[in-house]
Amino acid sequence: MAWDFSTPPDFQAQLDWMAAFVREEIWPIETVFDELGQAGFDAAMAPLQERVRERGLWAAHLPPELGGQGFGQVRLGLMHEILGTSVFAPVAFGNQAPDSGNSEILALAGTEDQKERYLHPLLAGDLRSAFSMTEPQTSGSDPTLLETRATLEGDEWVISGRKWFSSNASVADFLIVMAVTDPEARSHQRASMFLVPADAPGVQILRDIPTMEHPQEHFGRLGGHSEIVYADVRVPRDALLGGRGEGFLIAQHRLGPGRIHHCMRWLGVSARAFDMLCERAVSRYAHGSLLSEKQTVQNWIADSAAQMQAARLMTLHAAWRMDTEGASAARTDIGMIKVFGAGVMHDVVDRALQVHGSLGYSTDLPLEAMYRFARGARLYDGPDEVHRQSVARRILRGYAAPEDGVPSEHIPTRRDEARARFADLLERVTAND
Ligand SMILES: Cc1cc2nc3c(=O)[nH]c(=O)nc-3n(C[C@H](O)[C@H](O)[C@H](O)COP(=O)(O)OP(=O)(O)OC[C@H]3O[C@@H](n4cnc5c(N)ncnc54)[C@H](O)[C@@H]3O)c2cc1C
């Protein structure tokens, strides 16, 4: 038996430090983010980032030779569960999306020059990045339909197209852009990735799209999702990231670990909402008893605890599989947790909001913001339906229709087979009757 659910004491000590640090130093920033603005926020973060570096926890997702900590996915998962309690915590730890995923792509596919120019400053926190793939006019669920084109003219790539929902693009220094380079190739070999400076001529960042999470547009602030026109943007030949036609291959590497981190961060959100749910249950009195004594509320607490535990074990198991067997062995697990984890976060936040009544619906508590945040999780990094479809497809590969069309478990057929197999015994038993 090699299964072991314990955490090594030295790493548990790091987790304990992170939990206290995030709660004491980062949660308070949430309440004054609007007043600070982007520049004030960066100033508040700088000393915290320094403390994280001193503690040896900066950019833990990357290998030590690139300035990271080389944590495997299980350790990263445990860490992200804590960081997920605040949207700002990953910024303090140098592993906020999309920079963390983009740095993984650069580490995986970047040339030495590209690493020097983009990866090292990204890791140092001197640059910010965005990942620009989804387009308003084509289905993001099926990126083989991408229309943005990159054509090679002499020594330059010329990129033209329209993208949207490129997270953090309005504060980014560079963008990783997915564009079709080989329209005639097989569907998953048509697109390539490019490193595009945000100030390159022709990059037009039109707006940060107001969303359910951020209904008011605040252009140029962390957490925005930009709409961008690439109007004949010229980049040098060596702006190609990875091989020509390898865009999907590289994207796949980025998405696997990223989804584990998302799911663990969602558990961080769920845990915070769950604490509010329980605190309210033992505080609010109505109809002759505390809410904690009402069976509906007890059901919510028990169901939430069970769902969170299930999501946590599923996610850590997917992380363990990725560490021990590799990313492709963990694909089905990752698809399952992406859907399941997003649903759990939604349900727990919804119950916590409900138990607070009008207070939960108000902006005096973070629950309504968590609820809006939770809804997006069912869309980004692939909508639920697409993950369910690919999980089911992969599972179904292990099944075939019975040759005779009779279900394998058909009892009369099995009984006939069993009667033939135990004929002697049955004859003896019957003779004794
Ligand atoms: C908060 C947020 C951040 C994002 N950040 C980024 C980013 O940084 N960079 C980036 O490039 N993109 C980003 N996106 C875009 C995101 O990846 C896409 O929205 C997502 O892939 C879905 O694409 P779509 O919006 O075009 O929906 P569509 O592909 O049009 O799908 C719409 C709906 O159709 C249904 N559907 C689709 N396929 C199937 C199917 N096979 N079976 C059944 N139903 C189906 C689903 O219900 C789906 O929700 C972000 C999105 C959000 C919400």
Alpha carbon distance, N-terminus to C-terminus of the chain: 48
Which of 100, 171, 262, 380 to probe ligand 1 with, by most ligand atoms within 8 A of CB?
380
Closest CA to 89 of 172, 30, 165: 30
Between the alpha carbon of residue 5 and those of residues 102, 121, 261, the distances in Å are 31, 37, 19
Report the nearest atom of ligand 1 relative to the CA of 178: 11
Ligand 1 centroid to 87 CA: how many Å?
21
Closest CA to 370 of 111, 30, 123: 30
Q: Do 335 and 384 fall within a single domain?
A: yes
What is the residue-wise DSSP string for 336-360? HHHHHHHHHHHHHHHHHHHHTHHHH
pLDDT at residue 327, as a whole number: 86
pLDDT at residue 217, as a whole number: 86
Q: Do 382 and 352 fall within a single domain?
A: yes
pLDDT at residue 66, as a whole number: 76
Q: Do 190 and 276 fall within a single domain?
A: no
pLDDT at residue 155, as a whole number: 97
Between the alpha carbon of residue 381 and those of residues 205, 257, 371, 407, the distances in Å are 22, 12, 18, 37
Ligand 1 centroid to 378 CA: how many Å?
9
Q: Do 253 and 272 fall within a single domain?
A: yes
Q: Tokens for 267?
A: 């558990």
Q: Containing domain of residue 184, as a range?
A: 129-241
Ligand 1 centroid to 163 CA: how many Å?
13
Round to whole Å and give the CA distance between 251 and 124: 23
Residues 60-89: pLDDT tens digits?
988 887 777 788 899 999 999 999 999 999
pLDDT at residue 2, as a whole number: 77
Nearest CA to ligand 1 atom 51: 380
DSSP 143: G
pTM for the model? 0.93
Q: How many domains is the chain partitioned into structurally? A: 3
Nearest CA to ligand 1 atom 12: 134
pLDDT at residue 278, as a whole number: 98
Report the nearest atom of ligand 1 relative to the CA of 136: 26
pLDDT at residue 185, as a whole number: 97
With beta carbons less than 8 A apart as the criterion, state whether 373 and 213 touch: yes
Mean pLDDT by groups of 10 residues along the chain of 433 residues:
88 97 97 92 96 93 79 93 96 92 92 96 93 97 97 98 98 98 97 98 98 91 95 98 96 84 96 98 98 98 98 97 91 97 98 98 97 96 96 98 96 98 95 78
Q: Tokens for 134?
A: 């989804």
Query: Which residues, 6 or more positions from 42, have their beta carbon under 8 angstroms from its beta carbon?
Result: none
Query: Which residues, 6 or more positions from 158, have their beta carbon under 8 angstroms from its beta carbon?
Result: 150, 151, 152, 232, 233, 234
Q: Do 100 and 186 fall within a single domain?
A: no
Tallying the residues shown for the chain, one arrives at 433
Q: What is the CATH number of the domain that holds 257?
A: 1.20.140.10
Question: Mutual orientation of helices 247-281 and 331-355 as an angle, nearest 10°?
Answer: 30
Round to whole Å and give the CA distance between 263 and 130: 20
Q: What residues flank ligand 1, with Cβ below 6 Å? A: 98, 131-134, 139-141, 165-167, 225, 376, 379-380, 382-383, 385-386, 389
In a domain, 344, yes or no: yes
In a domain, 193, yes or no: yes
pLDDT at residue 62, as a whole number: 82
Q: Do 364 and 328 fall within a single domain?
A: yes
Q: What is the CATH number of the domain that holds 154?
A: 2.40.110.10
Residues 268-293: pLDDT tens digits?
999 999 999 999 999 999 999 999 99
